């Protein structure tokens, strides 16, 4: 599978664009920084781009390579590596930086992936895109593991598996994580920085949002909401909602947890489930995507009330027909 990347890398003369999905998480950012390191080993220049705010808790990943916003760049790119995206719309405005016939290397682990690249390395069995990046590094003789590279890859593994707790936590994931720890990754520090540590604003947002809890269909569906007022009152920023939806899924009797949040011009939902209840397929039907037990969807030009009404109406038969 990785042999195909050799031609892609061989032909490169100009800067390559590296990007991932909007509202990037630990897997998106860990894989972006790690791929930049891989390209450096091949003597290939690259530039990291993402339209969204980069959450402060991921600052530890890299303090030298800047992530640009698309509007900060005037040039267009002929080659791009797109990471952790089920479809190309997930990169948002970064797409405007690509020439019409840009060559795209798509590396991802979403079952809903649309194979939008010329070269697609997609494995829905992988727990994280960083699992695939781990393989790429091992395949590449020019790339040497370092503590910082191992930390980038480990962060994707640990965050996308919810701290090695989700059903995606295979023996292979743990063997890869073990190797990364042997290289010098500090698991306690990364768990603290990337997952556990909260800002005061984040805690206030959690508090406000938890008080919005609503239960439907005898508790099978649990909903939390973040209104515009809650963002303002808590002074929280995008990314601070991470992990909140798990409370809705984890409450006793709940089969699916849903978080509705509104921001200027859009409403986003996050969905979490257990077992075979496929929220990825549910989100896909609504124009979003994700995985078996974690998925999301973004609605433009609709009010929070409209989105709630639509999603809840569809969730009732979904949890009943399981």
Binding residues for ligand 5GP (CB under 6 A):
21, 86, 90, 270, 288-291, 294-298
Cα–Cα distance measured from residue 256 to residue 219, given in angstroms and rounded to the nearest whole number = 9
CA distances from 308 to 259, 313, 315 (A): 10, 8, 10
Query: In the complex, what is the shortest distance from the CB of residue 143 to ligand 5GP, in angstroms, rounded to a whole number?
Result: 26
Query: In the complex, what is the shortest distance from the CB of residue 160 to Mn ion, in angstroms, rounded to a whole number?
Result: 5
Q: Which of 37, 87, 160, 242 binds Mn ion (CB under 5 A)?
A: 160
Beta carbons of 37 and 143 less than 8 angstroms apart: yes
Q: Which of 84, 87, 240, 242 binds Mn ion (CB under 5 A)?
A: 84
**Contact partners, residue 69, CB within 8 Å, separation at least 6:** 49, 50, 51
Q: Which is nearer to ligand 5GP, 57 or 90 (CB)?
A: 90
The phi and psi torsions of 272 (rounded to 5 degrees) equal: -135, 145
Q: Which is nearer to ligand 5GP, 209 or 270 (CB)?
A: 270
Q: Which is nearer to ligand 5GP, 106 or 150 (CB)?
A: 106
Strands 119-122 and 98-108, bridge-based pairing: parallel
Query: In the complex, what is the shortest distance from the CB of residue 54 to ligand 5GP, in angstroms, rounded to a whole number?
Result: 15
Q: Which is nearer to ligand 5GP, 70 or 92 (CB)?
A: 92
User: Is there binding between residue 87 and Mn ion (CB under 5 A)?
Assistant: no
Residue 91 per-residue DSSP state: G
Query: In the complex, what is the shortest distance from the CB of residue 153 to ligand 5GP, in angstroms, rounded to a whole number?
Result: 18
User: Is there binding between residue 37 and Mn ion (CB under 5 A)?
Assistant: no
Contact track, Mn ion, 223-242, x by CB under 5 A: --------------------
Residue nearest to Mn ion (CB): 27
Contact track, Mn ion, 115-154, x by CB under 5 A: --------------x-------------------------
Query: In the complex, what is the shortest distance from the CB of residue 210 to Mn ion, in angstroms, rounded to a whole number?
Result: 26
Beta carbons of 149 and 30 less than 8 angstroms apart: no
Cα–Cα distance measured from residue 295 to residue 260, given in angstroms and rounded to the nearest whole number = 12
Sheet containing strand 46-49, strands side by side: 67-68, 46-49, 16-20, 77-83, 98-108, 119-122
User: Is there binding between residue 27 and Mn ion (CB under 5 A)?
Assistant: yes
Q: Which is nearer to ligand 5GP, 56 or 246 (CB)?
A: 246
For the chain, the farthest-separated pair of C-alpha atoms sits apart, in whole angstroms, at 60
What's the start-to-end Cα distance of the chain, in Å? 36
Selection from ligand 5GP, Mn ion, none that 168 binds (CB < 5 to 8 A by kind) is none
Sheet containing strand 256-263, strands side by side: 214-216, 221-226, 256-263, 266-273, 294-300, 289-290
Selection from Mn ion, ligand 5GP, none that 193 binds (CB < 5 to 8 A by kind) is none
Binding site for Mn ion (CB under 5 A): 27, 84, 129, 160
């Amino acid at each position: 599978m990785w042999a195909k990347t050799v031609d892609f890398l061989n032909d490169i003369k100009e800067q390559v664009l590296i990007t991932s999905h909007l509202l990037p998480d630990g897997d998106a950012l860990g894989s972006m920084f790690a791929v930049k390191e891989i390209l450096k080993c091949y003597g290939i220049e690259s530039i990291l781009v993402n339209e969204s705010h980069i959450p402060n808790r991921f600052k530890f990943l890299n303090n030298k390579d800047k992530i640009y916003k698309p509007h900060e760049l005037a040039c267009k790119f002929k080659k791009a590596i797109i990471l952790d995206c089920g479809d190309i719309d997930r990169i948002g405005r970064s797409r405007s930086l690509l020439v019409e016939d840009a060559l795209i290397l798509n590396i991802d682990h979403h079952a809903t992936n649309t194979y939008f690249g010329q070269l697609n390395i997609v494995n829905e069995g992988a727990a994280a895109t960083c699992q695939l990046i781990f393989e790429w590094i091992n395949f590449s003789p020019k790339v040497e593991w370092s503590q910082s590279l191992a930390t980038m890859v480990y962060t994707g593994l640990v965050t996308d598996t919810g701290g090695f707790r989700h059903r995606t936590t295979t023996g292979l994931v743990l063997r890869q994580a073990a190797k990364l720890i042997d290289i010098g990754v500090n698991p306690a520090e990364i768990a603290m920085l990337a997952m556990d540590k909260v800002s005061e604003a984040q805690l206030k947002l959690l508090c406000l949002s938890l008080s919005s809890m609503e239960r439907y269909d005898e508790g099978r569906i649990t909903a939390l909401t973040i209104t515009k007022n809650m963002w303002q009152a808590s002074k929280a920023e995008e990314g601070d909602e991470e992990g909140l939806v798990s409370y809705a899924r984890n409450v006793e009797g709940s089969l699916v947890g849903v978080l509705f949040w509104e921001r200027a011009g859009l409403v986003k939902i996050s969905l979490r489930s257990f077992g075979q209840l496929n929220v990825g397929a549910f989100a896909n039907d609504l124009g979003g995507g994700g995985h078996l037990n974690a998925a999301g969807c973004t609605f433009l030009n609709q009010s929070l009330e409209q989105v709630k009404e639509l999603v809840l109406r569809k969730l009732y038969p979904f949890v009943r027909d399981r």
